[in-house]
Amino acid sequence: MNRILTASVSVLGASLIAGAACADVTIISKVTVAHAVLPSSQSPVITFHSASAPAGGNEGAPAGAPSEPVPPVSESVTTYYKNDNARTEISGGLVTLYHGGEGKIYTLDPSQKTYYVESFDDILQPKAAAPQNPAITMKVDGDIDLSPGTDTRTVSGNTAKVFLVSGAVTVTPERTGGGSRGGSGGGGGRRRRGGGGGFPGGGGGGFPGGGGGFPGGGGGGYPGGGDGPGGDDRGAPASRVHIAPVQVSGEYWLADSVKLPSAKKASLLPAVYAPISGETFAFKPLAERLKKTREIPLGSRIAFTRTSPQGVQESVTMTTEVASVAQTALADSLFQLPIGYTEVAAPTPPSP
């Protein structure tokens, strides 16, 4: 279960960097992932006031839909920001260090005293594999609109304004042969999303994952993972691979009083927030907004919805609730690699 939100959390951690005059920042949050599955004729109404899955069973749903709702899963996440560095801690889980000056991300496993290294590009240039053919590399792209709303709320003494998100995330064939490092099929997908699934779920779990992941059902996530409920495209050329767009809607809460402590590497903020937002923060205009203002999100809710070829409509809602914000000095040692840890190769997805 920790794996489910491991990346989700690191997402919050990577947001770091603002003007030199800004204070160090510590944020404690709860990140929740909730699933809902219904036949398309019973299209769920996505609201942003509850992250709970719908109550009751799923009788009458087409084949491939789970018989019972998947319960929401939550994790406590603490994120620290100092200068152009950040640190994210998942309760009882991994620790992630973001070094803005290097453009590197270090994922530490305290239980094994090991760590592996990735770059910001690994997060901001999402790739995956076709759900039925992991040899076909897919490009993940987003057409996301960000518009200011009228509501405000107080978060730990800070006035935050709402920004509304709408649009779609698409995946298209890029090339054949040898899946990319960032993604793989058959239970593969981006490691930082956790489990064994792709974005946002897939194959053997993943973030926000579990079982068949989202939104493929069966064994297939989006866009990585095992066989989805559709036709078998294994061995098919890239031109024949098709994945329906995933509709995106949601909201983010931003306050100009809580910013990254350094502006040297503003791309770090969207890099950190990308995983828990289902990659939406990797795309314009969200990424550009964060780079320009350096505002650390003080709450978010993002929903993804897609209809499968069988008529099953699935949604995943990712919610971040900030419990506390502190702007006090932090020790440099929090952002340094601990003594006695051994570097290991970044984990690779299992074979399909």
The predicted-structure confidence for 57-102, as pLDDT tens digits, reads as follows: 444 444 444 446 678 888 898 989 998 888 988 887 889 898 888 8
**What pLDDT digit, counting tens, does each position of 20-71 carry?**
346 899 999 998 888 887 654 443 333 222 233 333 444 444 444 444 667 8
**Distance set, CA 51 to CA 127, 215, 306, 319 (Å):** 27, 17, 17, 7
Residue 302 pLDDT: 84
Cβ–Cβ under 8 Å, residues 294 and 266: yes
Of residues 273 and 17, more confidence is placed in 273
Computed over every residue of the chain, the mean pLDDT equals 65
Query: Do the domain assignments include residue 228?
Result: no
20 in a domain, yes or no?
A: no
Give the integer Cα–Cα distance in Å for 12 and 6: 10
- pLDDT recorded at residue 43: 39
Range of the domain at 255: 25-39+72-175+240-343
Residue 67 forms part of a structural domain: no
DSSP state letters, 245-269 = -EEEEEEEEE-TTSB-S--TTTTHH
Amino acid at 304: F
Asked, for residue 333, whether it belongs to a domain, the answer is: yes
**Is 103 within the bounds of a domain?**
yes
In whole angstroms, what is the distance from residue 175 CA to residue 181 CA? 14
Residue 15 is predicted with a pLDDT of 37
- Residue 207 maps to a domain: no
Structure pTM?
0.67
Distance CA 282, CA 123 (A): 8
Number of domains in the chain: 1
Q: Is residue 195 part of a domain?
A: no
Query: What's the confidence (pLDDT) of residue 183?
Result: 33
Token couple for 97: 């260090």
Q: Please, which residues have CB within 8 angstroms of residue 302's CB and are 6 or more apart in sequence?
A: 165, 248, 249, 250, 251, 277, 278, 280, 317, 318
Q: Residue 214, exposed/middle/buried by CB under 10 A (0-12, 13-18, 19+)? A: buried
